[in-house]
Amino acid sequence: MTVDVAWALRWVRRTAELVAEHRDELVELDRRIGDGDHGENLDRGFRAVVVRLDGLDEPPAQVGDVLRVVATTLMSTVGGAAGPLYGTAYLRAAKVSGLAELDSAAVLALLESALEGVVARGKAQPGEKTMVDAWSAAVAAATEAVTAARSPREVLAEAARAADEGAQATIPMVATKGRASYLGERSAGHLDPGAASSALVLRAAVEATVPEER
């Protein structure tokens, strides 16, 4: 299955489905160390993205066209930190995805640019208990997969696997960035909600490559 415009559209729809399915879980995770609105905000945002894509006058010609719609919609509909962080990630990814189909190197560039967007917007680094921990792990794994000449789908699969591991690794961490940092040592023992949702987003990217497996 190719990683193309049709894939990008499926990725968005699958992300919306997964976020809706895990909405309450994300709300609870954020309630423990944040504002408690992460799941609700993301659910509303991705629902709005799907509506926006369904209403386009012309179908997107490039993967970047799809990602740009995601970025602008999330920025305008999602409150809290999630809107700007995810919006910037998708916007940066869109800028390097001006292609109708992505090869393995282009998939890596998409992931790297998304990570750069999150870091630039949130000023966080790995180990600070944020979504950066999931994205940085994903990029590292994707880089290894590209070096090993793996297919675009395999690159995404490795990224998603690593993102989940990166998210789980935030549990013992003490937050030093974001709202959770206000809790200090009490933030340890909890999964970071942004890292958890990031893992869902990348899981959706893999599942979107093979629609029949959904």
Contact call for residues 169 and 133 (beta carbons, < 8 A): yes
Q: What torsion do the CA atoms of 127, 81, 214, 1 make, to the nearest 10 degrees?
A: -80
Residue owning tokens 């995770």: 29
Three-class secondary structure assignment of 28-45:
HHHHHHCCCCHHHHHHHH
Q: What is the CATH number of the domain that holds 113?
A: 1.25.40.340
Residue 214: what pLDDT?
40
Sign of CA dihedral 180, 185, 186, 189: positive
Range of the structural domain that residue 179 is part of: 3-213
The amino acid present at 60, given as its one-letter code, is P
Q: Which residues, at least 6 apart from 199, have a Cβ–Cβ distance to it below 8 Å? A: 134, 160, 163, 164, 166, 167
User: CB-based burial of residue 172 (10 Å sphere; 0-12 exposed, 13-18 middle, 19+ buried)?
Assistant: exposed
pLDDT in tens, the chain (214 residues): 799 999 999 999 999 999 999 999 999 999 999 889 999 999 999 999 999 999 999 999 999 999 999 999 999 999 788 999 999 999 999 999 999 999 999 999 999 999 999 999 999 999 999 999 999 999 999 999 999 999 999 999 999 999 999 999 999 999 998 778 888 898 899 999 999 999 999 999 999 998 644 4
For residues 175 and 193, give the distance between their C-alpha atoms in angstroms, rounded to a whole number. Answer: 12
Q: What is the DSSP letter of 101?
A: E
For residues 66 and 94, give the distance between their C-alpha atoms in angstroms, rounded to a whole number. Answer: 8
Question: Count H helices, E strands: the chain?
Answer: 9, 2
- Look at the chain and report how many structural domains it folds into: 1
Backbone angles phi, psi at 4, to 5 degrees: -130, -165
Q: Which residues, at least 6 apart from 13, have a Cβ–Cβ distance to it below 8 Å? A: 50, 208
Q: Which residues, at least 6 apart from 76, have a Cβ–Cβ distance to it below 8 Å? A: 83
Residue 118: what pLDDT?
97
For residues 20 and 151, give the distance between their C-alpha atoms in angstroms, rounded to a whole number. Answer: 29
